[in-house]
Structure 1
Amino acid sequence: MSDSFLDTCCAIVGDGHVLADVAGMEPFLTDWRGRFTGRARAVLRPGSVEEVAALVRACAAAQVPIVPQGGRTGLVLGSVPDASGEAVVLSLARLNRIRAVDPANRTMTVDAGCLLQQVQETAAVHGCLFPLSLASEGSCTIGGNLSTNAGGTAVLRYGNARDLCLGLEVVTPSGEVWDGLRGLRKDNTGYSLRDLFVGAEGTLGVITAAVLKLYPQPRGSATALVALASPEAALGLLSRLQDECGAGLTAFELVSDLCMQLVARHFPALPQPFRAPSPYYALVDVESSESQEHATQLLEHSLGAALAEDASLEAVVPSSVGQARDLWRLREHIPLAQAAEGKNIKHDISLPVSLIPAFIRDTAAELQLGFPGCQLVCFGHLGDGNLHFNVAPPPGGVDEDFLVHQHAVNRIVHDSVAAHGGSISAEHGIGALKRGELERYKPPVELDMMRAIKAALDPLGIMNPGKIL
């Protein structure tokens, strides 16, 4: 990179917001799991959409690749540069203003660098709910959530990030600003450009702001942890609760016993609700717009009917908000327990809900044939068909010896996903990690349409190169 390019960037954002030294750039170059550290020509830290646009124009003129970056909590190497050192990292962290809250319209307009937790708390101050909820909500940003079309625990009732976004502000690859910040539920005026950028992982432009949907705060919420004999039993319980609770069923999480064992081993201070283990568990949340009493009665009535029909079920219903939070802490600590236990081969997949039990059974059997003794760390959002289907070494096995089989394990899992009508990425995205897998499983005509969109919007190929396509 020439000095003149750096000088141009410094003139736009100030010398202190152009980081070109190794020490200053280092925190921006490593992915969240610590698996990969890239290189960059510089880290650019704009403080406004005008500065973002000016930097993008400078990059386009010099044909310098751009890697947009939010909270760096992504899991597929989508927000870190490659090893070439040619790209600049464009950090949106300084774009962190809540621009407007409109409680009557149930909308909030925010900068892309706002933390998810900041948005949740601002909505609560105004008596509203922003329902997107992730384990990383204290560090992930709205721009990153939208760029990956994040999911989380409340998709069953509220939908994923795309469903929670009404409008966007985007800096295009040519450095123009598209102001699509419209708080409209209905806008039938042509192509939905918003939907092109949500889930595009920064490959089509830079999201700088968004109009988000807000909801009324629920007046009551009830939680239960149910011990189950099998995924089939979980599917049956889900169906019953959907029939009984309707839209009040907010979350339905499936957790295997191995997940519970890992959490108990590495976080012994967390409570263990059951004396004896069960093969699987369901963590359930029900909300009510009426009252806390109504939420509790709705859940207890529905569970009571299920328990009466199936004597193998056992349920724990907390009597306080603190106890309910403890149950969710068990679920939220699963990824941390996995990391503490060692390395494993991770998969973020989605399937038709009805086929999840068959997928787990068929895929587990095939994995055991190929890798006897391997352990399945299986958990996820059963209510919306999203599983985190992770494969760990046999007990006592060496991580590195098992990880050499990653390609073969991925092939078994992803081929099974395809055979069961699923997707190889549910909420994490494609990034650089799954780019080859996408080409294997996407129909050629679909890939061709994606490439045509990319070429039309980013003809220079400077936006997050090497990601998705």
Structure 2
Amino acid sequence: MPDLIDTLRGIVGAAHVADTEADMAACLSDWRGRYRGNALAVVRPGATSEVAAVVAACAAARVPMVPQGGNTGLCGGATPLVDGRAVVVSLARMKRIRAIDTDNDTLTVEAGCTLAEVQAVADAAGRLFPLALASEGSCMIGGNLSTNAGGVQVLRYGNARDLVLGLEVVLADGRVWSGLRGLRKDNTGYDLKHLFIGAEGTLGIITAAVLKLFPAIRSHATAWVAVPDPQAAVRLLGCLRAECGERVSAFEIVGRPALELVLRHIPGARDPLEDAPPWAVLIELSDAASDAALSGQLEQAVAIACEQGLATDAVIAASLSQAQALWGLREHLSEAQRIEGVSIKHDVSVPVSRIPEFLERAGAALCERWPDVRIVAFGHIGDGNLHYNLSRPLAADNAQFIAETARVNRIVHDLVHSLGGSISAEHGIGQLKRAELLRYKSSVELEMMRSVRHALDPLGLMNPGKVLP
């Protein structure tokens, strides 16, 4: 559509519209390389007014739009479909810090700011923005909110949804909803911002947000602790919270096969313990007080856990570099898996108390059907979210196993559902899990979701082919 592309160039400038395959390539595939699409153009507006004009022009031409941030998603939610009918709307140029209010503990930023940039601005003001992801150097805050990102600090601070007070959104017809209010109490009807958080760009395009800030963290204590099994890990979490309260800011579980991938593929990675325990947990305590005796408190809690048989060995970081090395083992898990090769991935959640049951029953069912399956399990056990990824031990044998994805998913997702869990804890639905919603969402839920979608985007132009089946 040359007329539309000319219109887009007139709105944002010719330098910010790409319409050749070479210039668009980076925006046409997802981070994992699982999805690849096509597009009429990639347009990079630099202000909310330009986003609104781009959306209005596309809506008038009945052309679909795919909002895109840092393109670090894991479910194909920011990748255009293969039909090539859509315009990709990249928010990468929208990087302004609009306001910081330390008395109100809020930070107002545009959607194209990377998570690391947001963290740095908060830190410079003596505050903390606690959302923390391995991709924080490249993921953008608009995408984080559109997918309701989780990360390693959910245990203490909640998901992205819990860290937002207000939004600015361009609606599907080009109108702008300005909801940038820094209020913690606003009981005036529907809380509209929550429609757009987690909607993966299917209801509108988030252009700015008012984020909650917290007191800066001035002391940390980090430990890598061997546990005999997941049940012991869950009980260890309870022990820690009883001893340390809200100072427990992260509690991550790592199965041995997951750690082995990091040791194999990530340069400089070292096993923290001499033995090779089947499971380990990464624990972090944090406090706003600079003189908090966290290391001693963590050491005492781990000692109690060892006496109770909940832990068998531990390393407590004695320096910042040691703590960073321990966190590096956790943060490089996704990259190590990508280097190892394709696998069948699951991002699931169940009540924390049922994690041991899920791991035992899922492992038994999968091994019965595929005796040589390799189970790479790790994740945010403190909030019930596991990354449960399956492959064959040898990459060369994987093609046949990957063809069994539907059968594997049925075993894993049916069990998750029966335990009162979710088939997508923090990665979203995107293209990957659309069909699965038909099995696990009730007809009433699906009808409500479709009604909301139709009310806000009656032409179905916002990120089509994503989320709703």
Mapping 1:123-272, distance limit 5 Å: 123-267=122-266, 269-272=268-271
Q: CA deviation at 1:289?
A: 2.5
Q: CA deviation at 1:292?
A: 4.5
The answer to whether the 8 Å contact 2:11/2:53 transfers is yes
2:434 alignment partner in structure 1: 435
Q: What is the CA–CA distance in structure 1 between the aligned matches of 2:278 and 2:237, rounded to whole Å?
A: 17
Q: Structure 1 stretches of 5 or more lacking a match?
A: none
Q: What is the CA–CA distance in structure 2 between the aligned matches of 1:97 and 1:117, rounded to whole Å?
A: 14
Q: What is the CA–CA distance in structure 2 between the aligned matches of 1:141 and 1:354, rounded to whole Å?
A: 33
- Between 1:27-36 and 1:263-272, the stretch displaced more is 263-272
SS of the residue corresponding to residue 196 of structure 1 reads: helix
The answer to whether the 8 Å contact 2:235/2:310 transfers is no
Q: What is the CA–CA distance in structure 2 between the aligned matches of 1:420 and 1:444, rounded to whole Å?
A: 20
Q: What is the CA–CA distance in structure 2 between the aligned matches of 1:141 and 1:193, rounded to whole Å?
A: 21
Query: Quick one: which amino acid aligns to residue 225 of structure 1?
Result: W
The answer to whether the 8 Å contact 2:263/2:269 transfers is yes
1:394-449 Cα deviation digits (max 9, x unpaired): 44751212111111111111111111110000000000110001111101100000
The answer to whether the 8 Å contact 1:222/1:292 transfers is no
Mapping 1:52-63, distance limit 5 Å: 52-63=51-62
Q: CA deviation at 1:262?
A: 1.4
Q: What is the CA–CA distance in structure 1 between the aligned matches of 2:225 and 2:129, rounded to whole Å?
A: 27
Q: What is the CA–CA distance in structure 1 between the aligned matches of 2:160 and 2:411, rounded to whole Å?
A: 30
2:90 alignment partner in structure 1: 91
2:400 alignment partner in structure 1: 401
TM-score, with structure 1 as normaliser? 0.98
1:26 to 2:25 alignment? yes
Q: What is the CA–CA distance in structure 1 between the aligned matches of 2:465 and 2:124, rounded to whole Å?
A: 41
2:455 alignment partner in structure 1: 456
> Residues 300 and 291 from structure 1, CA distance in 2 versus in 1: closer, same or farther, beyond 3 angstroms?
farther
Q: What is the CA–CA distance in structure 1 between the aligned matches of 2:22 and 2:250, rounded to whole Å?
A: 42
1:125-155 Cα deviation digits (max 9, x unpaired): 0000000000000000000000000000000
> Residues 396 and 100 from structure 1, CA distance in 2 versus in 1: closer, same or farther, beyond 3 angstroms?
closer
Q: What is the CA–CA distance in structure 2 between the aligned matches of 1:32 and 1:71, rounded to whole Å?
A: 9
Mapping 1:69-84, distance limit 5 Å: 69-84=68-83
Q: What is the CA–CA distance in structure 2 between the aligned matches of 1:244 and 1:212, rounded to whole Å?
A: 31
Query: Quick one: which amino acid aligns to residue 50 of structure 2?
Result: E
Q: CA deviation at 1:312?
A: 5.2
Q: CA deviation at 1:309?
A: 2.0
Query: Quick one: which amino acid aligns to residue 210 of structure 1?
Result: A
SS of the residue corresponding to residue 362 of structure 2 reads: helix
- Between 1:453-462 and 1:270-279, the stretch displaced more is 270-279
Query: Quick one: which amino acid aligns to residue 358 of structure 2?
Result: F
SS of the residue corresponding to residue 244 of structure 1 reads: helix
The answer to whether the 8 Å contact 1:223/1:284 transfers is yes
TM-score, with structure 2 as normaliser? 0.98
Query: Quick one: which amino acid aligns to residue 344 of structure 1?
Result: S
Q: What is the CA–CA distance in structure 1 between the aligned matches of 2:332 and 2:7, rounded to whole Å?
A: 45
1:235-276 Cα deviation digits (max 9, x unpaired): 110111111111110000000011111111223522211111
Stretches (4+) displaced over 4 A: none
Query: Quick one: which amino acid aligns to residue 84 of structure 1?
Result: D
> Residues 419 and 194 from structure 1, CA distance in 2 versus in 1: closer, same or farther, beyond 3 angstroms?
same
Q: What is the CA–CA distance in structure 1 between the aligned matches of 2:92 and 2:315, rounded to whole Å?
A: 41
Q: What is the CA–CA distance in structure 1 between the aligned matches of 2:251 and 2:411, rounded to whole Å?
A: 27
Q: CA deviation at 1:233?
A: 0.7
Q: What is the CA–CA distance in structure 2 between the aligned matches of 1:53 and 1:353, rounded to whole Å?
A: 43
Q: What is the CA–CA distance in structure 1 between the aligned matches of 2:465 and 2:302, rounded to whole Å?
A: 48
1:110 alignment partner in structure 2: 109
2:323 alignment partner in structure 1: 324
The answer to whether the 8 Å contact 2:305/2:311 transfers is no
> Residues 303 and 38 from structure 1, CA distance in 2 versus in 1: closer, same or farther, beyond 3 angstroms?
same
Q: What is the CA–CA distance in structure 2 between the aligned matches of 1:190 and 1:278, rounded to whole Å?
A: 52
The answer to whether the 8 Å contact 1:288/1:294 transfers is no
Q: What is the CA–CA distance in structure 1 between the aligned matches of 2:27 and 2:265, rounded to whole Å?
A: 29
The answer to whether the 8 Å contact 2:349/2:385 transfers is yes
Q: CA deviation at 1:6?
A: 1.7
The answer to whether the 8 Å contact 2:236/2:310 transfers is no
1:344 to 2:354 alignment? no
CA RMSD, 1 decimal = 1.1
